[in-house]
Amino acid sequence: MQKVRIVSLDKDRDVIISKLHKMGVIDLRKSSLNLSDDKPAVYSTEVSDALIKVTGALQILSKQTVNNEKHLDVNELIRKANGIEAINTIYRLDEERKELRDDQKSLDYAQHVAESFSDIKIDFGRLKSDYIVYRAFETDKAGAKALKQRANAMGRKIDLNIRKTTKKNFVVMAAYAKETSIDELYKGLKINELDLTAKYIEGGSAEIINNAKKKRAENDKKLSEIRQKLEALSKKHYSELANIKEMLEIELERSEVGSMFKRTESTFVIEGWVRKRQLPMLKAELQILVDYRLFFEELETDELAPTYTNRPGFLKSFDYLVGFYSVQRSDEIDPTWIFILTFPIFYGLMVTDVGYGISSLILATLITKKTSPEGLMYNAAKLWQINALAAIAFGLLSNQWFGFQLNNYVGLTQGAFNWLTNTPELIALTVLFGVFQVVLGLVFGVYNSYHHGHKKLAIARFTSILVVLCGTVAVAGFFFGAFNIVISEINAGIAVVSLLITAVLSGSEATEITNLITHPLSYARLMGFGLGSVIIAYLIDLSFTPNLNSGIIIFIIYAIIFIALHFLNMVLSIFEGIVQGVRLNFVEFFSKFYTGNGIPFSPFKYKRVYTKENET
C-alpha cells in the first residue's frame, strides 16, 4: 500500500472525483494539512432529495425487468428525476391504498364488536347517556366468572350482561352510573376492552355487519383498481426509476465525498491509500484526464496502511469470519490461509461421519439460498459447506455412515481412522497437531514482534518455541518411551532453561506461560468430540435400528426414535465442530501472534447493477 496526495484545480474537481469513483482504487483519508476543509458539492441536497423521492416510489412499485441506460450528467439527472409526474401519482395511489386498508381494519373491528353482541337487541348508537356508562370487554371463562362474582359483591351498582362467543371466549356488557368506579371489577383479570365508540359502530348489530360487508366490498373494488394502476405504472416506469435511483446514489456519493478533502482558494487536495501495483495506472489516467494540471505525490508516513484482501469467491467467507473477530493489521502475517486449511480439518475430525457431512452440506446450502451474501448467516453457511466436505472425507476415512460401518460393503477404505480401535494413536495425532499449530503461531509471533520493534518479546516467543518442542520430546521420552533417556533429559533441560528465559523476557505476557503447556493439549478435544460423536451414533444404531421382524408399529416407533436421536447427535456434533474449530484457531493459535484491529481497505467506488458509464 502507498499513501498518495493529489492536488488539482477547482475546475477539474468533478471530473477527477468521477474518475476516481469509476476506477475504485483509492481508499480516501482526511488530510492532516493545515488547510480549510472542503465541503460537499452545491447540488448534494438536490441529489439527496431526488433520491429519497425516487427510492420511495420504487418501493411502492412491483419489481420489473430493468433495461440498462447510460449515466446522465448530474444536472440533467436532477431535472429528469424531478420531472417524472408519475412519481406523484404513485405516492397518491399509495396513500389512497393505505387509507382504504386502514378503513378495512376499522370495518373488521366494527363487525367483530357487532358479532360479539349479535344475540342482543341493542342499538350501539344509543349507548350514550349523561348518567349511564356502557363498556364492553372480552375475556375467558375464568375472567367471566370472576367478573360476575365481583359485580354481585358490588350489589346494584353495576349491571353485567355476559355472553359466550366460543368455547373459551366470553363478552361482557357493563352498565353503571357515571359516578361509580369499576376499576376493582377487572383489576388483575385477563381482559380486553372493546371500543364502543370506534368508527362504523352505529345502529344495531345486524345493521353494522351488513354495512361493513357492503363497505368492505366497495373498498376491495377500489383497492383492486389501485393495484391495477400501480401495476401499469410499474411496467411503464420501474426500469426508468431503477436507473435513475442508481445514478442518484452514485452522484450522491460523489457529491458528499468532498468533506474528505482539503482546499485552498483555487485548488483542492485529496489523500488516500492505493495499492502499489495500481499507482502508475492511477497517475497516468488522472494526468491525461486534466491535461497534466495535477500534482501527484507519494507520501512517506508512519500511519498504518489499510488491509487489502482478495481471496477467491468461495474463500471470502473466511475473511468475513476473521474480520468478524478482528481485522488483521497490514503489517502482520496474514493467518487466514492457515485458518482456511485447519478449520475444515478440525470440523471433519469432530463430525467425522459421511451421513452427518452430507446432511450438514444440504442444510448449509439451503441457508445460502435464503440469506443475504452480506450477512453473518450466509458467510457462516458458506464455511459450513466447505467443512461439510471435510466431514464427509473424514467419515470415509473413519468408516462412519450414521454410525454404521459400510465401507466394507462398498469397496472403499476399511476405516483408516478407526476411532474405536486406534484411540491412543489418534489422541497422540491430535496433540501433535496442536504442538504444530501452537509452534507455527509462535513462529509468526517472533516475526510480528520483531517487525513491530518488540525485540525482547520476539526472543521470548522464540524461547517459547523451544519450550513447546523440547517439552514435547521430553514428555514423549519419559512417559511413552519414544526417545531414549539421554535425549529426553537434554530436551527437558533445554525446556526448563527456555521457560525461565521466556518468563524473564515476556514482561506483561509472562502470565501466558502456562498456555505453552495447556494449549497444545487442548487439541485433544478434537479426538474427544470426534470419539463422542462416533460412540453415540454407534449406541443409537445398536439400540434403535428399525427392524421389520418386530412388527410394523415397533418398526415405526424405532424409526422415529432412530431419526430423532441421530438428528440430535448430528446437531451437537455440528455445533461442537464449528465452535471448537473456531476456538482452537482464534484462542490457541491466534493468541500467539495476532494483534488485529486493522483497517480494511475500502476504496471509493460503486458497483453498478443497471447503468453504464457514459464515456462521452
- pLDDT tens-digit series, residues 159-203: 888 888 876 788 888 888 888 888 888 888 888 888 888 999 988
**Is the same domain home to 343 and 459?**
yes
Does residue 459 share a domain with residue 362? Answer: yes
**The pLDDT of residue 417 is above 70:** no
Predicted local confidence at residue 107, as pLDDT: 94
Residue 512 has pLDDT above 70, yes or no: no
Q: Does any domain span residue 500?
A: yes
Same domain, 176 and 91: no
Give the pLDDT confidence score for residue 508 in this predicted structure.
Answer: 56
85 with 149, same domain: the answer is: no
Query: What average pLDDT score do residues 317-327 get?
Result: 86
- pLDDT by residue (tens digit) across 558-577? 889 989 998 898 888 888 88
Query: Does the pLDDT at position 411 exceed 50?
Result: no
Beta bridge mates, 287: none
* pTM of the entire predicted model: 0.74
Distance CA 214, CA 107 (A): 10
More confident call, 408 vs 6:
6
Instruction: Please check whether residue 602 lies inside any domain of the structure.
Output: no
Instruction: From 148, 163, 195, give the residue that closes a domain.
Output: 195
pLDDT at 408 (0 to 100)? 56
Asked if the structure places residue 613 within a domain, the reply is no
CATH number at residue 222: 1.20.1460
The verdict on 80 and 149 lying in the same domain is no
Residues 385 and 420 in one domain: yes
Whether the per-residue pLDDT at 300 is higher than 70: the answer is yes
Q: Quote the domain boundaries for residue 34.
A: 1-38+261-306
The amino acid present at 432, given as its one-letter code, is L
* b/e 561-591 (16+ beta carbons within 10 angstroms → b): ebeebbeebbeebbebbbebbbebbbebbbe
Separation of alpha carbons 374 and 163, rounded Å: 54
pLDDT above 70 as % of the chain: 96
> In the predicted model, what is the mean pLDDT of residues 417-431?
77
* CA 57/CA 238 separation, integer angstroms: 9
Whether residues 547 and 535 fall in one domain: yes
Tell me if 612 is assigned to some domain: no
| pLDDT given at position 547 | 82
Say if residue 244 is in the same domain as residue 369: no
In this predicted structure, what is the pLDDT of residue 389? 92
What is the predicted pLDDT for the residue at 147? Answer: 87
Predicted confidence (pLDDT) at residue 220 exceeds the cutoff of 90 = yes
Torsions phi, psi for 134 (to 5 deg): -115, 130
Contact, 344 vs 387, CB < 8 A? yes
- Do residues 424 and 522 share a domain? yes
**Number of domains present in the structure of the chain:** 4
Query: Are 523 and 459 in a shared domain?
Result: yes
The whole-angstrom separation of Cα 282 and Cα 268 is: 18
Q: Cell 474528505 sits at which residue?
A: 260
Position 464 scores a pLDDT of: 87
Q: Write the pLDDT tens digit of every residue in 239-283.
A: 999 999 999 999 999 999 988 899 888 899 999 999 999 999 999
